Amino acid sequence: MYYLDHAATTPLHPEVISVMIKYLQTDYGNPSSKYYPQAMSASSALKESRKCVADLLNCDPEFILFTSGSTESNNFVLKGVVEKYRNKGNHIITSKIEHKSIIETCRHLERLGTKVSYLSVNSEGHIDLNELISLINESTLMVSLMWGNNEIGVVNDVEQISRICHERGVLFHTDATQVVGKIEIDLKKTSLDFLSISAHKIGGPKGVGAVFVGPDDLGLRRRIPSLMDGGDQEYKMRSGTQGMHNIVGFAKACEMAKANLKENNMRLLQLEKKFKEILVSKCPGVKFNGDQINKIPGLLSISIPGINNELLCKQISNQIAISTGSACSIGEKSHVLEALDLADSTSTIRVSLPADLDNVEEVASILLPYISLS
């Protein structure tokens, strides 16, 4: 079976599993405890893991906080900024094609009185930077725009957006869940205030992620309120005993992603190009949604005239795993495709390729008969 839904989640790499087992069986100590070997081992591993994640993002380890994943990271940032800076303003800017963890958090904040502006996108999935500039006002606290979209793969110009925000004294957050490990992230060059990632998109375990909380005007770690009250873990901003088996697995996945980044990027671009060429040659009516140049390599949103995407996914499910769109929106109309003004989102599938796919031609040969019958 070919698993082509890597935008939803990725399989655990064997080396990640091997590292995790040690912290489940022998080094099971609480990193906040002291004096005995299991606790000291966990404490040391926590420090080293933070460094591994920071190395992948090219930032200082002290700016990395571990969370349960990008959904928590996104909630933590948006809610925390609104609470901390409520005396300075009550306005957030985001877009209509963000992940649901941003959209739903913004709706929650709106019910509590926060004003939220939702940027439109063009047919390729890009925001209008002039609209962004026009919406920033004296009450704007933050702009939150994802680095790469999870359904269509379009990549935002994060560096330019960050510059626009900072020139106007506005904080900038990006959800980088889909680009981490596929596109280089260098937080020493790209000035961000907050960034969210998850381990399970890069061969790590589910249930763990991180948030980059950048420096304030003094160069010190910015402090925002915790989502959960309790202990002093994660610099007193994320209470709760750290799940060390997940954290060390995450760190190993980051280490491998950094080592293989360029090779995997090139491989995904090659696989995507070949897959698209085959589909177009055999089924000229297919359409690839979103910007096909500035995009996440290997992630394709494909509209195929005449198909029912749910039926197609079920028909090929024993041979190929694909999706109709975001795993967080199964059974619902895609707000991303609606924002692109696609007339019929039920004819659209999402394919997210693995870098180690060895036979893209065979994948296409399995898929094509179902397309031609539509």
C-alpha angle with apex 99: 93 to 105, nearest 5 degrees? 60
Q: Which two tokens stand for residue 20?
A: 């995790």
Tokens of residue 269, six digits: 């671009």
Element (H, E) at 209: strand 209-213
Q: Integer distance in angstroms from the first to the last C-alpha of the chain?
A: 23
Give DSSP secondary structure letters for 270-318: HHHHHHHHHHHHH-TT-EE-S-SSSB-TTEEEEE-TT--HHHHHHHTTT
Residues 6+ apart with CB under 8 A from 149: 97, 125, 155, 178, 290, 296, 336
**Long-range Cβ contact pairs of 226-234 (< 8 A, separation 24 or more):** 226/76, 226/80, 227/72, 227/75, 227/76, 227/79, 227/80, 231/32, 232/32, 233/32, 234/65, 234/66
Q: Which DSSP category does 183 fall into?
A: S
Length of the chain equals 374
Of these residues, 52, 106, 313, 328, which one is catalytic?
328
For residue 328, indicate whether it is catalytic: yes
Write the Ramachandran bin of 373: left for phi over 0, alpha for psi from -120 to 50, otherwise beta.
Answer: alpha
- Could you tell me the two tokens for 114? 């926060």
Q: What is the DSSP letter of 226?
A: -
Rounded-to-integer distance, Cα 334 and Cα 151, Å = 9
Q: Mapping DSSP to helix (H, G, I), strand (E, B) and coil, where does residue 216 land?
A: coil
Residues labelled catalytic:
328
